[in-house]
């Protein structure tokens, strides 16, 4: 568990000449010894100079949690000044009011003001209260604390440094959380300034450099420096171009422009970066983050330790590849060129990719074998998942066939004119199809997704970020290389990027400035997680497929049995498999009912009874817990309804608007059902399993959507397109069309070339 | 500020026979005296029995804030048991380990267990620590606290009750927050149970009834009872049909089904409801809410006081109309019938509404005059807003004309076949247009929105919830009545509902189970607020319109001047007005440049210089703060670019993808611009002001969308439609198409009736 080979707990040494900090955020999970530095903005309230109790409590909770995981936690805190100021102010007001009471009649009460409080006095007065508060809070987590007061000078005295070092090690050994503060009462008098937000206070030097010194001295793995800034920006925050730097490398320092007026003078950004770089050079990884943001405070420390993209991470090791933000930018640029190619050129790229899948079959299958071996060895994947991971010559062949179909349909996608209007003389409007922009496709296990989704993106002129599962890393890598090889033939290699498996899905879902649409392909759980995590980016897909088959009183026996069998048993784990069978009341105890039940028994389908169905039976199977269950297995619910209308109501109430089926010979009943039912797919006398892009003749699908806007049902190429409006005039102005103007709106529809929807 | 006429602070009386609680959540803002009751689940952590410090700190913060607003706050708390248990457990473990150390060798260390702790002892041991914690926390907000220990029995003794009452009044008078707990040490011994989540503890009666008694005794306006349940459900939570009750009326009590196994025995839901009804009868309003939910804890108390829909509100006064949830349900039902009408019938309804606007002109204008008078008297609306609020005969006439146009286009909306495919023999697939579902349109000031949006909803078969501004309440009311009158002719009156002005927009945006699409019509701020508040519901619209006009080196002088003038000055507040003028470098100090500047000066447009433009000038106007500014006034930014390509890059970087214009005589340059630029509307030699549904010939618009999926640019009828897939077979199953099956996919495109896009 210790990262460094032989960490000698009590060794006293100067900062190592060149320690080894973590190269990537994902490694921060391994941090054993952590210092959390709380800037004064974190510990004190924003409006006044009292302590921000809720924030402190949450920080204590996170530190205690990490401590309970077996990590060695230290806190470097501010706040004694604020605590003491609150206290001293109160004392002064009291003594003033007593004095004024003695001079009553002079009516000076209104003018009563608090004099400038000396920071060192405040700190001394506040230190005891602050420690008592920390102790009371940590006690709730059965965690002991210890107070350490130091000055920067203490580090210069070899003896003091050695004593401090061994004291801290001893405390950590006993699972005690040292809480370290500067011993302000004995430092030189500070200069007055208006640093802290309360005005009548003299600030003291922030504790950035103290935390950095301590981190290096104690060979700390990770220093988390919390203040009220999000992290390090490449330009002064608030300017047009300012971007938060996710990972900062020491060599990049010259690329930063610091603001001329840093809001916090001492302890400002430059000082923070200096301290961070010092710690980094000493072998400690550093993250600078905002500890005051109300939404993230609750998790900021644990999120950082879990490797999430919070604040700015300082790393000495510059990774070989581009960051995901750079990849998204490259993809967008490449995508714009891709969209401007001729349709035939996009088709050629897809055909070339299809060829490569055959030509490079051996390389692909060998990479896939490596993934399969690793997955089998780890034993983490179930047999169905292993099947999905595995590629074969026949899988590659059918993939190539599918790709060639997409190449054909790609001819009529981008740049199609959907509508043409003559708005006025010489003013013509067109609505044309354009790509959506940058797509992020997140897929699990199945590496055959990669060329399929890539082909759809190429056909629709979209840029694409691909995020595959770790288990298919080798296969995905070679398939992506082949895709880029195909793209290169028209100079758009960058339009499709493979995102490192190290990137967290949750972090990607937050890149709303870079990504236009997320398409998750995987389990319902994956989809739900992504829907929750996506901030301002639409997610195409569905998280539930509670599909119904309704057997009407006028159903044909054969069709009913066949459709129920196909809908439930063909592939029970599919989202378009039947979950609930609705049976018309009149059919109970008729041959059609008996045959369906017999078939389900033969197929070993476990039956759950809906409440009404159960009430009809003497010996009922298990009653369902919920009528909204997606079993995803050889299980289903059976419920009784009074009529077609009753079935529609049931489906509206308990269904997920995915795919629902009626089996009946009565055309009128069927048409009523098809009309009334508000689902993405409504079928008459056909299996629910037909809800699929390929079976619908869309060539391929990126998924099935149960959203009500944009694409609905199986989504093919068209779901990856949006439109733009192009208006061509001759200097037309709106004023020309006013009552006094010379022009009139014509709004004549002009013929549009018929689209080929194949 | 006191709600009740003459609240005699020291009057001692039995609970008033029938006090007057608040009728609606929106009145809770007026609550002067508030009791916050913290159940043990709120005060203690979920996993163990320590205190939940973060939660407590946040509660203290909210209570202190409300206290500082001049309200009289009281807290009824639990938690002493948990605090004491933590402490006693520690003591016991210590003494046990000492004992075991004396008997070493018996190796009993593993079996060391904590005996059942008597709750009363725990409470006594914990009370002092709990109070110290509250005091430390409240001190941070300069708020004093006082401890009160009572038993339920104290209320039965007239003398004790009188003493308690006057003590509490005295404390409130001195701005002290009384913190009340049951005096558990002196109550009868409780029965053992496993109520609290820690197992080895004997629970004590929850403090629901204590809080209710106290509330009535102290004539409290509002009792906020926080526990770990969301509120009151109509069925046991977790069952399929369980719905959280927003507002509960005493008469509704029989409609509740309590769960057979309430998780928390004593202090369970029935007891909470009983206590709440008791308080309500005594004149205190009650809200039961979850105080443990991590996302809302930070605001739960202040949100309740601000009237937001949190938990269950107990009210004695049942409002006349339906709740907004009921309205949404009625609208959905009505909408389904509306969608199933014939297109001509929907057209008839719209024409009838157009007729009514003329027939009932006098009533409408008179209602509008009342709104205008109220608005003028209040002085809260600026002149432009007053103009938007005001209706006139001519406005009504052009409204009626617009409606008749919508009626015509409504013929080709719902049920249009977009695609037909013969999947196989006798298996036919259709993709048809269907309504989106339930729309929520939120609009400010302009009451003419109401009939317009209603007509679009009717034409597209959508249900509609309308939420207008308070300032137009009278006008909206009559316009909505007329809409319902028109809808009645085909029995679909309920499809369009007017939401009470009392409902908070933020609450409506959370109704993701009831609403499918939100369309805000109003200021950018309104749109941004709604985008932020909408949880899981798509929002159609745009929050920014940073539109550019680029003057190419080959532009015509006349066209350039006309287009810049129209784009900026025709209606500067519009979202499609120009904000940034990009000028080709070669044009600087040419006649075209001078004429544009002269025109802008004449029109009194304030000019801001982009950084490059400023660098070319000796005496530059103000340099822009940001190149992304939407001025929305007679102001604009001017910047210099090197080329068309440079202009495209600038717009991609700083624009909002709304509408951007090129002025040039070079067709090739123009087509490049139109092709490359990634905005919803791209124009050549035409004013940006043409970006508008009516000017585009869409008949009317619900707004302009800058989203990349679904509708983009001006959105008319089509943006209110989605599709569903209808498959008609003869018992087809997917198995028939397997390798062993008898059928083959044909995927033949069948002719589709050409849509009339007028």
Predicted confidence (pLDDT) per residue in A71-120, tens digit:
999 999 988 888 787 777 767 776 776 666 666 554 444 445 556 667 77
CATH architecture of the region A25-314: 3-Layer(aba) Sandwich (3.40)
Positions of CATH 3.40.605.10 in chain A: 324-533
Q: Which of A143-157, A384-398, B370-384, B563-577 has the lowest mean pLDDT?
A: A143-157
Q: Do A733 and B681 touch (CB under 8 A)?
A: no
Output the CA–CA distances (angstroms, integers) from residue A169 to A103, A214, A279, B189, in the order listed.
Answer: 57, 12, 19, 48
Residues whose CB falls within 8 Å of the CB of residue A720, separated by 6 or more in sequence, listed in order: A435, A436, A439, A456, A457, A460, A462, A517, A702
Positions of CATH 3.40.309.10 in chain B: 547-701
- ipTM score of complex: 0.85
Q: Are B270 and B229 in contact (CB under 8 A)?
A: no
Q: Are B439 and B517 in contact (CB under 8 A)?
A: yes
Positions of CATH 3.40.1160.10 in chain A: 25-314
B interface mutation test: which of A240, A624, A734 has the most B CBs within 10 A?
Answer: A734
- Numbers of helices and strands, H then E, in chain A: 23, 24
Q: Quote the CA–CA distance of A409 and B163 in Å, as a whole number.
A: 86
Q: Do A729 and B421 touch (CB under 8 A)?
A: no
Q: Quote the CA–CA distance of A100 and B568 in Å, as a whole number.
A: 63
Q: Do A675 and B559 touch (CB under 8 A)?
A: no
Q: Give the per-residue pLDDT at A114.
A: 56
A interface mutation test: which of B50, B419, B575, B732 has the most A CBs within 10 A?
Answer: B732
Q: Which residue of chain B has the CA closest to A724?
A: B680
∠ CA(A724), CA(A729), CA(A733), 5° rounding?
100
The interaxial angle of helices B208-217 and B269-281, nearest 10 deg, is 0
Q: Give the per-residue pLDDT at A756.
A: 52
Closest CA to B358 of B459, B486, B445: B486
Q: Give the per-residue pLDDT at A630.
A: 92
Q: Give the per-residue pLDDT at B194.
A: 41
Q: Quote the CA–CA distance of B630 and B99 in Å, as a whole number.
A: 76
**How close, in Å, is residue A636 to chain B by CA atoms?**
17
The three-state secondary structure class of B24 is coil
What is the gyration radius of the CA atoms in chain A, in angstroms?
34
Nearest-by-Cβ selection for B696 from A240, A516, A725: A725
pLDDT band at A14 (very low <50, low <70, confident <90, very high): very low
DSSP state, A490? T
CATH topology of domain B324-533: Aldehyde Dehydrogenase; Chain A, domain 1 (3.40.605)
Q: Do B682 and A727 touch (CB under 8 A)?
A: yes
Q: Which residue of chain B has the CA closest to A45?
A: B140
**How close, in Å, is residue A704 to chain B by CA atoms?**
12
Name chain A contacts of B539, Cβ cutoff 8 Å. none
Q: Quote the CA–CA distance of B694 and B714 in Å, as a whole number.
A: 9
Residue B428 has pLDDT above 60, yes or no: yes
Q: Quote the CA–CA distance of B59 and B46 in Å, as a whole number.
A: 17
Residues whose CB falls within 8 Å of the CB of residue A104, separated by 6 or more in sequence, listed in order: none
Q: Do B726 and A419 touch (CB under 8 A)?
A: no
Q: Do A708 and B90 touch (CB under 8 A)?
A: no
Q: Are B716 and B408 in contact (CB under 8 A)?
A: no
| Exposure b/e, A93-117, CB count within 10 A at least 16 = b | eeebeeebeeeeeeeeeeeeebeeb
Nearest-by-Cβ selection for A60 from B53, B86, B697: B53
pLDDT band at B12 (very low <50, low <70, confident <90, very high): very low
Nearest-by-Cβ selection for B57 from A57, A689, A723: A57
**How close, in Å, is residue A177 to chain B by CA atoms?**
18
By CB atoms closer than 10 A (0-12, 13-18, 19+), residue B227 is buried
B79-97 average pLDDT score: 75
- What would the 3-class secondary structure string for A389-424 be? HCCCHHHHHHHHHHHHHHHHHHHHCCCCEEEEEEEE
For strands A606-609 and B247-248, give the pairing: unpaired
Name chain A contacts of B728, Cβ cutoff 8 Å. 670, 674, 683-686
Q: Do B722 and A737 touch (CB under 8 A)?
A: no
Q: Which of A211-215, A697-701, B460-464 has the lowest mean pLDDT?
A: A697-701
Question: pLDDT for B668-696, tens place per residue?
Answer: 999 999 999 999 999 999 999 999 988 99
Q: Which residue of chain A has the CA closest to B659?
A: A725
Please measure the distance between the N-terminal and C-terminal CA atoms of chain A and give it in whole angstroms.
58
Q: Give the per-residue pLDDT at B140.
A: 80
B interface mutation test: which of A82, A733, A755 has the most B CBs within 10 A?
Answer: A733
pLDDT band at A381 (very low <50, low <70, confident <90, very high): confident
Closest CA to A293 of A52, A535, A26: A52
Q: Do B566 and A427 touch (CB under 8 A)?
A: no
Residue where the block lists tokens 């009736």:
B753
**How close, in Å, is residue B479 to chain A by CA atoms?**
28
Can you read off the two tokens belonging to residue A344? 């035939």
Question: pLDDT for A25-70, tens place per residue?
Answer: 989 999 999 999 998 888 887 665 678 888 888 899 899 999 989 9
Q: Quote the CA–CA distance of A210 and B549 in Å, as a whole number.
A: 54
Q: Quote the CA–CA distance of B162 and B159 in Å, as a whole number.
A: 5
Q: Quote the CA–CA distance of A43 and B51 in Å, as a whole number.
A: 21
Name chain A contacts of B140, Cβ cutoff 8 Å. 45, 50-51, 53, 86
B50-55 average pLDDT score: 81
A609-621 average pLDDT score: 88
Nearest-by-Cβ selection for B747 from A663, A697, A734: A697
Q: Quote the CA–CA distance of A401 and A398 in Å, as a whole number.
A: 5
Name chain B contacts of A727, Cβ cutoff 8 Å. 681-684, 686, 690
A interface mutation test: which of B655, B688, B724, B750 has the most A CBs within 10 A?
Answer: B724
Q: Quote the CA–CA distance of A151 and A120 in Å, as a whole number.
A: 13
Count Cβ–Cβ pairs < 8 Å, chain A vs chain B: 290
The answer to whether domain B547-701 has CATH 3.40.309.10 is: yes
Q: Quote the CA–CA distance of A565 and A546 in Å, as a whole number.
A: 16
Q: Give the per-residue pLDDT at A755.
A: 57
Q: Quote the CA–CA distance of B77 and B101 in Å, as a whole number.
A: 40
Name chain A contacts of B724, Cβ cutoff 8 Å. 678-682, 712-713
Nearest-by-Cβ selection for B626 from A240, A294, A690: A240
∠ CA(A413), CA(A419), CA(A425), 5° rounding?
135
> What percent of chain B is helix, strand and coil (3-state, nearest 5)?
45, 20, 40
**How close, in Å, is residue A681 to chain B by CA atoms?**
5
Question: pLDDT for B406-423, tens place per residue?
Answer: 999 888 889 999 999 999
Q: Are B522 and B364 in contact (CB under 8 A)?
A: no
B459-474 average pLDDT score: 95
Cβ neighbours around A401 below 10 Å, total: 11
**How close, in Å, is residue A8 to chain B by CA atoms?**
31
Nearest-by-Cβ selection for A710 from B141, B663, B709: B709
Q: Do A421 and B696 touch (CB under 8 A)?
A: yes
Q: What is the pTM of this model?
A: 0.85
Q: Are B31 and B222 in contact (CB under 8 A)?
A: yes
Q: Are B359 and B352 in contact (CB under 8 A)?
A: no
Name chain B contacts of A114, Cβ cutoff 8 Å. none
Q: Which residue of chain B has the CA closest to A238?
A: B626
Nearest-by-Cβ selection for B734 from A436, A628, A690: A690
Name chain B contacts of A654, Cβ cutoff 8 Å. 240
The three-state secondary structure class of B133 is helix
Nearest-by-Cβ selection for B729 from A678, A686, A737: A686
Task: Please list the residues that pair with B638 across neighbouring strands.
Answer: B581, B609
Q: Which of A488-502, B222-236, B573-587 has the lowest mean pLDDT?
A: B222-236
Q: Mean of the per-residue pLDDT values for chain A?
A: 86
**How close, in Å, is residue A700 to chain B by CA atoms?**
13
Can you read off the two tokens belonging to residue A387? 């099947």
Q: Give the per-residue pLDDT at B478.
A: 97
The beta-carbon contacts of B124-128 under 8 Å, at least 24 apart in sequence, are B124/B80, B124/B84, B124/B184, B124/B185, B125/B83, B125/B84, B125/B87, B125/B88, B126/B79, B126/B80, B126/B81, B126/B82, B126/B83, B126/B84, B126/B85, B126/B86, B126/B87, B127/B80, B127/B83, B127/B84, B127/B181
Nearest-by-Cβ selection for B60 from A53, A294, A722: A53
pLDDT band at A631 (very low <50, low <70, confident <90, very high): very high
Name chain A contacts of B745, Cβ cutoff 8 Å. 695, 697
Percent over 90 (pLDDT), chain A: 53
The beta-carbon contacts of A168-173 under 8 Å, at least 24 apart in sequence, are A168/A74, A168/A218, A169/A9, A169/A10, A169/A218, A171/A146, A172/A33, A172/A72, A172/A74, A173/A9
The three-state secondary structure class of A704 is strand
- Torsion angle, CA of B600/B606/B611/B617, rounded to 10 degrees? 60
Q: Do A570 and B136 touch (CB under 8 A)?
A: no
pLDDT band at B489 (very low <50, low <70, confident <90, very high): very high
Nearest-by-Cβ selection for B734 from A240, A689, A733: A689
Q: Are A683 and B729 in contact (CB under 8 A)?
A: yes
């Amino acid at each position: 568990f210790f990262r460094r080979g032989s960490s000698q707990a009590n060794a006293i040494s100067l900062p190592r000449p060149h320690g080894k900090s973590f190269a990537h955020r994902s490694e921060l999970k391994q941090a054993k010894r952590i210092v959390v530095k709380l800037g004064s903005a974190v510990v004190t309230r924003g409006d006044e100079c009292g302590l921000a109790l809720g924030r402190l409590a949450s920080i204590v909770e996170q530190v205690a949690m990490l401590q309970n995981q077996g990590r060695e936690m230290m806190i470097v805190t501010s706040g004694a000044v604020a605590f003491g100021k609150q206290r001293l102010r109160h004392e002064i007001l009291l003594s003033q009011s007593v004095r004024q009471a003695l001079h009553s009649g002079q009516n000076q009460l209104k003018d009563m003001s608090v004099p400038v409080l000396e920071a060192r006095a405040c700190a001394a007065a506040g230190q005891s209260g602050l420690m008592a508060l920390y102790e009371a809070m940590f006690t709730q987590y059965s965690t002991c604390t210890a107070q350490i007061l130091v000055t920067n000078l203490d580090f210069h005295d070899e003896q003091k440094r050695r004593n401090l070092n061994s004291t801290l090690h001893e405390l950590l050994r006993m699972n005690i959380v040292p809480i370290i503060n500067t011993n302000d009462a004995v430092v030189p008098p500070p200069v007055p300034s208006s640093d802290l937000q309360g005005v009548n206070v003299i600030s003291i030097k922030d504790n950035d450099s103290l935390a950095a010194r301590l981190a290096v001295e104690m060979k700390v793995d990770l220093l988390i420096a919390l203040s009220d800034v999000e992290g390090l920006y490449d330009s002064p925050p608030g300017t047009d171009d300012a971007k938060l730097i996710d990972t900062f490398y020491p060599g990049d320092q010259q690329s930063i422009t610091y603001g001329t007026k840093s809001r916090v003078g001492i302890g400002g950004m430059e000082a923070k970066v200096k301290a961070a770089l010092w710690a980094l050079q000493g072998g400690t990884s550093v993250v600078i983050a905002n500890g005051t943001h109300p939404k993230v405070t609750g998790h900021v420390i644990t999120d950082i330790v879990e490797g999430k993209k919070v604040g700015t991470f300082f790393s000495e090791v510059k990774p070989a590849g581009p960051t995901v933000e750079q990849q998204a930018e490259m993809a967008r640029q490449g995508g714009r060129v891709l969209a401007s190619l001729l349709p035939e050129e996009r088709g050629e790229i897809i055909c070339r990719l299809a060829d490569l899948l055959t030509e490079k079959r051996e390389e692909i299958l060998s990479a896939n074998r490596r993934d399969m071996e690793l997955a089998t060895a780890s034993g983490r994947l179930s047999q169905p998942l292993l099947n999905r991971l595995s590629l074969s010559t026949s899988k590659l062949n059918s993939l190539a066939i599918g790709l060639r179909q997409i190449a054909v349909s790609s001819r009529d996608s981008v740049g199609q004119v959907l509508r043409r209007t003559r708005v006025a003389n010489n003013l013509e409007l067109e609505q044309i199809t354009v790509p959506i922009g940058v797509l992020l496709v997140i897929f699990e296990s199945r590496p055959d997704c990669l060329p399929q989704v890539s082909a759809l993106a190429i056909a629709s002129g979209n840029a694409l970020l691909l995020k595959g599962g770790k288990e298919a890393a080798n296969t995905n890598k070679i398939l992506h290389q082949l895709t880029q090889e195909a793209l290169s033939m028209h100079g758009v290699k960058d339009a499709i990027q493979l995102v490192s498996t190290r990137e967290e899905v949750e972090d990607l879902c937050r890149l709303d400035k870079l990504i236009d649409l997320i398409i998750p392909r995987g389990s319902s759980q994956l989809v739900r997680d992504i829907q929750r995590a996506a901030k301002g980016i639409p997610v195409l897909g569905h998280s539930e497929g509670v599909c119904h088959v309704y057997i009407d009183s006028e159903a044909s026996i054969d069709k009913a049995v066949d459709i129920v069998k196909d809908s439930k048993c063909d592939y029970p784990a599919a989202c378009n498999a039947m979950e609930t069978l609705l049976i018309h009341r009149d059919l109970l105890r008729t041959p059609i009912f008996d045959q369906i039940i017999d078939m389900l028994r033969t197929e070993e389908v476990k039956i759950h009874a809906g409440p009404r169905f159960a009430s009809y039976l003497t010996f009922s199977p298990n009653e369902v817990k919920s009528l909204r269950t997606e079993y995803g297995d050889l299980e289903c619910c059976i419920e009784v309804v009074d009529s077609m209308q009753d079935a529609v109501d049931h489906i509206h109430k308990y269904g997920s608007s995915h795919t629902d089926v009626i089996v009946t010979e009565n055309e009128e009943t069927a048409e009523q059902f098809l009309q009334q039912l508000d689902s993405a797919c409504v079928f008459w006398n056909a299996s629910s399993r037909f809800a699929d892009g390929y079976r619908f003749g869309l060539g391929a699908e990126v998924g099935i959507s149960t959203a009500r806007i944009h694409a609905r049902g199986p989504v093919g190429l068209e779901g990856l397109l949006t439109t733009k409006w192009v208006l061509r005039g001759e200097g037309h102005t709106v004023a020309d069309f006013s009552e006094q103007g010379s022009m009139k709106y014509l709004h004549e529809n002009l013929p549009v070339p018929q689209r080929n929807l194949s």
